[in-house]
Amino acid sequence: MNRTPVAGRIGQYVALAAYVVFLVFPLLWLLSVSLKSPADLATLPAQLLPRGLFFGNYQEIASKQGLLESAWNSTLVAVGTMLLTIAVSLPAAYALGRFRTFLGPAATIWILVSQVFPVILIAIPLFMIVRGLGLLNTLPGLILVYLVWTLPFALWMLRGYVSALPVDLEEAAACDGASRPRILVSVVLPLLRPGIIATAMFAFISSWNEFFFALVLLKGDTTTLPIALAQFVGSEGKVAFGPLAAASVLATLPSLVIFAIVQRRLTSGLLAGAVKG
């Protein structure tokens, strides 16, 4: 059995720690900026840590009307989009990955083509459709648009995962007498779990961060967090860095919590797939 020398192991940990610091640094910087006073922010050279803890930025965003409502709206929209995207893309991806028909390549090309349209080009038709459905200024309307927006790429991602699954497993289950629904639920779905989770994360992040559609489809008290954050950016490039950082810290928390929960399942799913494969 090979053993990693102690020096090598230490080197691995150091490299890993450096990588973690590299990844975490923007978040730490954001947190630090959110706790700096305007005078502290204007000091040169910029310091990593604030000279004193200044909670004025958090007080300011707390007094900003609608920020918490916007965060709640964003959560509803992101979770709704995530669930709908998976519900729609999963069976479609399975069909595309497993069944060889003349429609498969055509659908694949269409998926790729749909990704090259500029947002502004499809914004107006989508706007008209949403308005026609009476869903303007509603969260379901925005979820519908995000579903349309994320579906092609989600489908593309999941199709890759489906194609990577050995078809032998399904055939073996069929030989053992399992019905097709049973094969899908008991064999395919568990193996696809990492792919489903990765796709769900993609859908969640896409809709959580999206700005433009929310800007044109929502107004007033139905707005989402990216729009609320944009209120800290004024004309002529003026930016209220302190409050913006404080609001961004709060905006990041839900994503972090969801990632923390999902990450563990993503890893276990991968391992489960490896064992069965």
Binding site residues, other proteins, CB under 8 A: 38-39, 41-44, 46, 60, 66, 118, 120-121, 123-124, 127-128, 131, 136, 211-212, 215-216, 219-220, 227, 230-231, 233-239
Angle at 226 between CA 224 and CA 232, to 5 degrees: 115
Angle between helix 139-164 and 67-98 (nearest 10): 40
Shortest Å, Cβ 148 to other proteins? 16
Produce one character per residue of 212-238: b if its CB has 16 or more CB atoms within 10 Å, e if not.
Answer: ebbebbbeeebbbbbbbbebbeeeeee
Shortest Å, Cβ 57 to other proteins? 13
| Spatial CA neighbour of 40 closest among 57, 22, 64 | 57
Nearer to other proteins, 196 or 229 (CB): 229
Nearer to other proteins, 103 or 128 (CB): 128
Shortest Å, Cβ 90 to other proteins? 32
DSSP run (H or E) holding 20:
helix 6-34
Nearer to other proteins, 151 or 227 (CB): 227
Nearer to other proteins, 113 or 274 (CB): 113
Angle at 189 between CA 186 and CA 192, to 5 degrees: 140
Shortest Å, Cβ 216 to other proteins? 4
Nearer to other proteins, 43 or 163 (CB): 43
Amino acid at 260: A
Do the Cβ atoms of 120 and 161 come closer than 8 Å?
no
Shortest Å, Cβ 13 to other proteins? 37
Nearer to other proteins, 94 or 208 (CB): 208
Shortest Å, Cβ 39 to other proteins? 6
d(CA 204, CA 184): 25
List residues bridging with 233 in a β-sheet. Answer: 239
Q: Which residue's structure tokens are 């922010």?
A: 41
Token pair in block for residue 145: 């648009």
Nearer to other proteins, 182 or 219 (CB): 219
List residues bridging with 239 in a β-sheet. Answer: 233
Q: Which residue's structure tokens are 């200024």?
A: 137
Shortest Å, Cβ 7 to other proteins? 43
